[in-house]
Chains A and B, each alone.
Chain A
């Protein structure tokens, strides 16, 4: 096509306005694909807040509620799970491992959970990643604590610091278990999950600090020191929930039915993956809204292109008449315009992607440190490619309007150059 090199030269001749159009398309593409990528990664990391756990067991409740308190430590359980029931269920031959957790206390607003060493052994998040210690070791003694990364960073705790657990979940708590401090023996590596915001102590520790308490209040004059506590029986009566891994995934629904129909007490077992997805449907609306908005930004970019092309057309009538006089066909005149629109959007899309990757490379450590969001610098996904294709297509379609006008002009003007 003899007209294409001309299209390029013509565009270069108007490089300043072309550059602005290009830039607005590129930036809108960066925004669109960036939002899509963050959305996908947020979804992935959210739905993998817990992975590798087949079931979560707690007192009878809705699945989102159980998920909220057992995984996100939000809200309070209506009831507990008795130690006997937990022991019995854990002994089922289909069960490979369990992690008991006990909630209800806090430290400076961060939830404190009681658990055992199986937590460090079996808990998985993200892409089946295991918890890793940045410093120290898992707890061993009753009065030892392992901190989530965020807790340690925000409160500035070091190894061997002593921390006081407060009763209840509030930030300002009037009842402190200050007679039994805990020693920091380990700090976990950042996970981007609620684990970062959690203080982990042994179940026995939870039991120890509540000795001498009745109905959530300390009995006056019956304060017990750490040394005294160690001589008592620290087996818990209740726990809040248990994470369960099964020997075989095939048994999940069968075991879930067993738990849900448990005779001794009303229990609920949820599949964390399913519950997380249900929860995402509730909160994921925000991300969808964000994607929609960035879609509109692209529309604004395309409208800018359309405006630039349309105003260009009238100034280029003379050029079109000259081209017609040397034998350019009307469709070639139209192709000149559509080619320009397509070229600008394609280049804009590529530029936008390049910019996105630069931002990803530069912003990856920040996103991980601040949001706990790991943004992989990976090849574009199918969805992202589809978005890019959509942008280029929209650019080409937008080019049809000025091209049609140029086509009509070039037919109507005939041999006269109308200004």
Chain B
């Protein structure tokens, strides 16, 4: 209980001697000795395609579980949780943005944003404590992400531009204020000016919501926008590819 007053915030992610091999692969894809990310940090994880960035994220989100080692997210050893426990943990505490095709085509923009609240009661309650209704909170986030044009709201989501789609995805990741936002190459389908604009918006909102941001990209030029850069190939001991 004294921890709350401690000057250094507790780590959002701590990882020790973690190894992971895809069942279909012969060798480990990831072998990490140690990695720690503080709560509220905005971290850039960089590395070329195929170096295991998405694989690392799948461990952090509990989609996969490490074969060895210790992995703590928000102080929970999530490798030890059951499958359902990890799914619940993810829906409660982590917001995810993919590279592209982030939206569910048969849901409206607002329904896409409020999707996590269907699966997580915690995020639904947090979202409701900010806005009066889930819809209002979704609209608030969309507005913060420069999507306040009312005409857009009623369009089918596949008619939005890629940049707009990514901002809707960001709003979905942010709703209900999850502690960790994970973005897996969210800008690689955007052109350069939109890329920086998107990152700035995302950063600003993460800061406003108090979340930890893990931003993954193969593009080293983005590094200047973040508190810290982790070059995955430098810390990944499993260099064998394929």
Contacts and interface: CB of A to CB of B under 8 A. Distances in A.
Interface of A: 2-3, 6, 9-10, 12-13, 318-319, 321-330, 412, 414-417
B108 to A, nearest CB: 10
B61 interface: yes
Majority SS at the chain A contact face: helix
A327 B116 contact: yes
Given A322-B104, A417-B100, 6 more contacts: A326-B120, A328-B87, A328-B119, A329-B87, A415-B61, A417-B101
Given A2-B118, A415-B63, A417-B98, A326 B83 contact: no
Contacts of A319: 104-105
A104 to B, nearest CB: 76
Interface stretch (B50-58, B126-134, B194-202, B205-213): B50-58
B238 to A, nearest CB: 16
Contacts of B104: 6, 319, 322-323
A300 to B, nearest CB: 28
Interface in B122-148: none
A325 B58 contact: no
B91 interface: yes
A13 B105 CA distance: 8
A186 B55 CA distance: 92
B96 interface: yes
Given A322-B104, A414-B64, A417-B101, A2 B57 contact: no
Given A415-B96, A416-B54, A9 B106 contact: yes
B236 interface: no
A253 to B, nearest CB: 69
Contacts of A326: 91, 96, 115-116, 118-120, 172
A319 B118 CA distance: 15
A412 B23 CA distance: 9
B14 interface: no
B58 A416 contact: yes
B99 interface: yes
A328 B96 CA distance: 13
B90 interface: yes
Nearest to B119: A327
A186 to B, nearest CB: 69
A322 B119 contact: no
A322 B107 CA distance: 12
A6 B112 CA distance: 11
Given A326-B172, A327-B119, A415-B184, A12 B90 contact: no
